[in-house]
Amino acid sequence: MSTTKLQKKRIATSCITLPLKKEVLEEIVDKAKDWALMHGAAMRSRTKYEHDTLTLAPFILLPSPLPKSEFEKAVAIQPTLNELMHKVAHDYDFLKESLKDTIEVDDFTKNLFDIYEIIHSEGAAQRISLGLLRSDYMLHSDCNYIIKQVEINSIASSFGGIGSVLVDINRFVLSELGYYEKLKNLPDNNALSGLCQGMIKAWELYNTKSAVIMFLVEDVTYNICDQRFHEFEIHRLNRDIKVIRRTLTQVANNAKLGPNKQLLIDGCEVAVIYFRAGYEPGHYHSQKEWDARLLMERSLAIKCPSIHYHLAGTKKVQQALARPNTLDKYLKTPEAIASVNEIFTGLYSLDFDEYGERAIKMAMENPERYVLKPQREGGGNNVYGNDIRDVLLKMKDTPERTAWILMDKINPPFTQGYMIRPNNPGLPEIVDLVSELGIFGAIIGNADTILYNKQLGHMLRTKLSTSNEGGVAVGIGALDSPYLIDDMD
Ligand code: ADP
Ligand code: MG
């Protein structure tokens, strides 16, 4: 691919003609911000944290264009991806083989894997797992635009709550501006309800009316609205179910197993554990928190995710799955295999073999074409551009490199729009933006049977076209919703 091809193209079709007149913009931004705050598109501030105060979540004023056919493709493939993840999570040999070098050098993955080994040898008290997954995509512009998978998240897949509000903000803005006929191009988004129904289904399978759903949360939760939306939706759907929130440290201090390995904490029996924490090393302050994770895995509670699902969602496993012929083992039909292969982009291991050496050479020669990724979640960990060379030079002769993967850089087209940020006085300017679509899925089952498999809804995150990453929670990206269009030029 020549360098010119790597330059971003613009999607010419936007939902309305921009720019907006200054007076119109002034009024609609003010209104949209208040609408967003009043409907929960908000977070706790990282810079001026106050428990009783919420700050606006960054959002895009008007929905960003996305080709309808690619959106529908992403939606349609989700049950297949759910099934794939479920089967991979239950394939001990594949997980072990894929992660064997990584766990030699990456302590975090090793700690997770050690827990997995213990559960595997003891036999799990609870054979049922709940997966609430989110598969993330960007459009890749080569000859035309097609979705390529960035990653699939199997733990703490966030923004199902606030994401569901975003479509309403964008609809409100479009209709305030008088574009009623455009509203039909914003697909409904029932992600929040779907995610909560998944948790409720797992709670029903646990079959103890007094048992609770426990949200495992960070010591300080900034993305509180998104989490509470889930809690309140569960309450709305079934008010008999109590939700409690606990940190890993609280579990370490207060939880124990009952005679049938029930997870007991502060007088409650836990039916389902929904992890919104535990996916990064900083969440485990000491061995105590790791012991808490093991205790939960040993328990009868249904985990979302259980340890093998967590491992199946690692970047190293994603890369191993993209190896030729690997999908054949998990997916039944040639059509399913072809459809998943189509969304994969090039993924390369950095193992000490001929493939790894070749990947290192490619990345050193053309670093702008790749992204270098460690085994981490939560954004801000990847390496881009010339930094790839520096990082590889330092580690290419050390075992550390086997904990990283190399991925083809997806080259998304840009759109134009207004990004609305908190504490940002003055009127927003039109900026170049790129979007990442997430599709949510739920799967429940054990090693032998899949009991529940659904596509649930979506979320769109949009960032400046110049930034490499777009984490909303860390303040770089903004929440958005798709405006489906037929053609793109
Ligand atoms: P994390 O687990 O930290 O979310 P991701 O794999 O999702 O890791 O990467 C973080 C961000 O980096 C993505 O949201 C996307 O903006 C960017 N990114 C990741 N992979 C690619 C890629 N192959 N091409 C272009 N951008 C990428
Ligand atoms: Mg991600």
Q: What is the mean pLDDT of residues 269-278?
A: 98
153 is a catalytic site residue? yes
Residue 244 has pLDDT above 70, yes or no: yes
Higher pLDDT, 143 or 36: 36
Instruction: Say which of 373, 376, 401, 463 is annotated catalytic.
Output: 373
Do residue 375 and residue 430 come from a single domain? no
* Residues 464 and 421 both lie in one domain: yes
What's the rounded Cα separation, in Å, for the pair 14 and 313?
Answer: 34
Regarding whether 264 and 390 lie in a shared domain, the answer is no
* Domains held by the chain: number: 2
Task: Please check the confidence at residue 232 and state whether its pLDDT lies above 70.
Answer: yes
305 prior amide bond cis, ω within 30: yes
Ligand 1, atom 15, lies closest to the CA of: 469
Q: Which residues pair with 371 in a beta bridge?
A: 384, 407
What predicted TM-score, i.e. pTM, was given to this entire model?
0.96
393, 455: one domain? no
Residues 25 and 98 in one domain: yes
Ligand 1 contacts CB of residue 150 (under 6 A): yes
CA R_g for the chain: 22
pLDDT at 51 over 70: yes
Q: What is the pLDDT of residues 380-422, one digit of tens each?
A: 899 999 999 999 999 999 999 999 999 999 999 999 999 999 9
* Catalytic residue, candidates 378, 379, 385, 475: 378
List, in order, residues 6 or more apart from 121 with CB less than 8 Å away: none
Neighbouring C-alpha atoms within 13 Å toward the C-beta of 385 = 6
Nearest to 24 by CA among 180, 174, 167: 174
Which of 95, 267, 159, 182 shows the shortest CA–CA distance to 485?
Answer: 182
| Same domain as 152, residue 116 | yes
Query: Which of the residues 233, 461, 470, 477 is marked catalytic?
Result: 461
Where among 355, 383, 409 does a domain terminate? 409
Given 371, 393, 409, which residue is the final one in a domain?
409
Tell me which residue has its CA closest to atom 13 in ligand 1: 469
| Ligand 1 within 6 A of CB of 360 | no
381 Cβ below 6 A of ligand 1: yes
Q: Please give the full DSSP string across 147-169, using - where no structure is assigned.
A: EEEEEEE-S----HHHHHHHHHH
Residues 401 and 416 in one domain: no
* 214-243 mean pLDDT: 98
Q: How far is the CA of 443 from the centre of ligand 2 (A)?
A: 20
Contact 196, 259 (CB under 8 A): no
- Cα(233) to ligand 2 centroid in Å equals 25
272 and 400 part of one domain: no
176/253 same-domain check: yes
- Select the more confidently predicted residue: 462 or 378: 462
| CB-ligand 1 contact for 89 (6 Å cutoff) | no
User: Both 141 and 108 in a single domain?
Assistant: yes
Of these residues, 377, 382, 453, 469, which one is catalytic? Answer: 377
The two three-digit tokens of residue 194, written as one number: 């779907």
pLDDT of residue 333: 97
Model pLDDT, residue 7: 63
Confidence of residue 475 (pLDDT cuts 50, 70, 90): low
pLDDT for 1 beyond 60: no
Ligand 1 lined by 371 (C-beta under 6 Å): yes
369 and 238, same domain (yes or no): no
Ligand 2 centre distance from Cα of residue 67 (Å): 21
Domain that holds residue 418: 3-345+410-485
Residue 40 CA to residue 57 CA, distance in Å, equals 9
Closest-lying ligand 1 atom to the alpha carbon of residue 378: 3
CATH number at residue 393: 3.30.1490.50
Q: Reply yes or no on whether the pLDDT at 11 is more than 80.
A: no
Residue 14 CB less than 6 A away from ligand 1: no
**Residue 469 confidence (pLDDT):** 78
Among 372, 387, 409, where does a domain finish? 409
What is the per-residue pLDDT for 4?
Answer: 40
To which residue do tokens 């966030």 refer?
A: 158
The reported pLDDT for the residue numbered 6 is: 55
Mean pLDDT, the chain, rounded, equals 95
Q: Based on the domain organization, do 248 and 381 belong to the same domain?
A: no
What burial class does residue 71 get, using C-beta atoms within 10 Å of its C-beta: 0-12 exposed, 13-18 middle, 19+ buried? buried
